[in-house]
């Protein structure tokens, strides 16, 4: 059986969030199993297509943004199993993308938030 997913390519992303971003940190800071934070990256394209690397698996989703509001769609990812530290990291970053509804950019750093609560920050590459 063959499945397909139709991406909505009519959305337009603000130029400030376009590009490749690398995870810097989670809020509040996670010091236990998140030693592989530097491996996480995401790339947001002008049409909203967002793809990246979660530490073990690749992912793809759709991003919509308007003003300082942001939303990520259903996250599709490969299903490779890795060490617990990587899988914990993947679970956390997926949670951030699902919960994020606001963003700000300060000094080339993209901060994803849920309301006024910071979730994670990414540095532009």
Domain regions of the chain by residue span: 15-124
* pLDDT, mean of residues 78-90: 85
55: confidence class by pLDDT, cuts 50, 70, 90 = confident
Burial of 65 (0-12, 13-18, 19+ CB in 10 A): buried
Rounded distance between C-alpha atoms, residue 119 and residue 26, angstroms:
6
Instruction: Tell me what pLDDT residue 56 has.
Output: 87
H-helix segments, the chain = 84-99
pTM here is: 0.85
Scanning the structure block, which residue is given the tokens 């491996």? 39
pLDDT at 66 over 80: yes
Which CATH class for the 15-124 domain?
mainly beta
Instruction: Tell me what pLDDT residue 78 has.
Output: 93
């Amino acid at each position: 059986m063959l499945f397909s997913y139709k991406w909505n390519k009519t959305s337009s992303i603000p130029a400030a969030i376009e590009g490749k971003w690398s995870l810097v940190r989670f809020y509040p800071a996670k010091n236990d199993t998140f030693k592989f934070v530097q491996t996480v990256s995401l790339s947001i394209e002008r049409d909203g297509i967002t793809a990246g690397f979660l530490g073990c698996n690749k992912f793809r989703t759709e991003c919509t943004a308007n003003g300082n509001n942001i939303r990520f769609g259903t996250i599709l990812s490969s299903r490779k199993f890795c060490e617990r530290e990587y899988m914990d990291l993947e679970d956390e970053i997926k949670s951030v993308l699902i919960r994020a509804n606001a963003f700000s950019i300060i000094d080339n750093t993209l901060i994803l938030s849920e309301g006024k609560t910071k979730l994670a920050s990414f540095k532009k590459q």
